[in-house]
Amino acid sequence: MGNLGDIHKARERIQPFIHQTPILHSSQLSKRCQNNIFLKAEHLQKTGSFKIRGAANKVMQEVAKGTTYVTAASSGNHGQAVAYVAQTLGIPSTIVVPEDANVSKVKAIQSYHGNIVACGLTSAERIPKAKELAIEKQGVYIPPYDDPLIIFGQGTVGLEIIEQVKDADIVVVPVGGGGLMAGILTAIKETNPSIQVVGVEPEAANDTYLSLKNGHITQISPTSTIADGLRTSQPGDLTFPILQNYLDDLVLVSEEEIKQALLFVMERMKQLIEPSSATTVAACLSEKLQVLNKRIVCVISGGNVDVHTIEPMLAGL
């Protein structure tokens, strides 16, 4: 699968494509949580999320091998990242989105010159279509998380955290398919295994939690959560063993806790983040980590929010 060296190589490779995102600190958040809380601000990354790291590493390697066309299946951050990297490298891309895709997300992909193809409503329909289009044009399908090069690219977040937050005790990471978590785990545990790494999932999308509990990959039924970026049916075949090997803990947060965290970051820190990102802050605010006086880094994975949905999203708080 690879190791720390592959993540360091990825970091050198993708440097022209990414920002080293800043670490934000909030005294109010730290006081509320009774811990020293830092936010790794990947919502300020190019294309608005960490996804650019893995996409850049994967697409660059494929282009180096002669690929002249790429596809992806995504209506959100992964699609934007693949389209951006392809545009920068001067090759065309096609992003297969659901038929009910958010208009603002489609426009974002198109702004990076990604060709849009609408197909079905589920990933089970989109992924085969994206793979089919790649074969038709002798291109390459770029998966969202379950690929070594994607994982190594996402792992560069972990390298930056270690350098930016000296003596960090705990790093908290949102878990969807597991690409970000697998990369960060490899980077941190193979550099400083004394740092604890904790995953967070929504209660409504707890496939990794159940998989870890059962000792094998466990699929869940389609579900709905405000943290739509974490709404996967099961962890990846490549990512899951890494989580099994390295992960210190995984906690679940409710929809209400995610909304409260989202509102706190917006009101107190003046940062617009995705609900998926807010899960890590929710884990701290709701005391799910059960620690005091620790230096905790919450990974804020992205900030691509349709501003028109914010008010109804937070209704009732």
Q: One of 46, 51, 58, 105 is an active-site residue; which one? A: 51
**Catalytic residue of the set 74, 276, 277, 301:** 301
State yes or no: is 104 an active-site residue.
no
- Told to judge if 51 belongs to the known catalytic residues of this protein, a careful annotator would answer yes
Q: Distance between CA atoms of 295 and 3, rounded to whole angstroms?
A: 26
- Sole residue written with tokens 């983040």: 273
Per-residue pLDDT of the chain (317 residues; tens, 9 = 90+): 669 999 999 999 999 999 999 999 999 999 999 999 999 999 999 999 999 999 999 999 999 999 999 999 997 899 999 999 999 999 999 999 989 887 888 999 999 999 999 998 878 889 999 999 999 999 999 999 999 999 999 999 999 999 999 999 999 999 999 999 999 999 999 999 999 999 999 999 999 999 999 999 999 988 889 998 898 889 999 999 999 999 999 999 999 999 999 999 999 999 999 999 999 999 999 999 999 999 999 999 999 988 888 888 887 77
Q: What are the φ and ψ backbone dihedral angles of 241, each rounded to 5 degrees?
A: -60, -30
* Alpha helices per DSSP H over the chain: 4-14, 27-33, 51-64, 77-89, 103-111, 123-136, 148-164, 179-189, 207-214, 239-246, 255-269, 275-285, 310-313
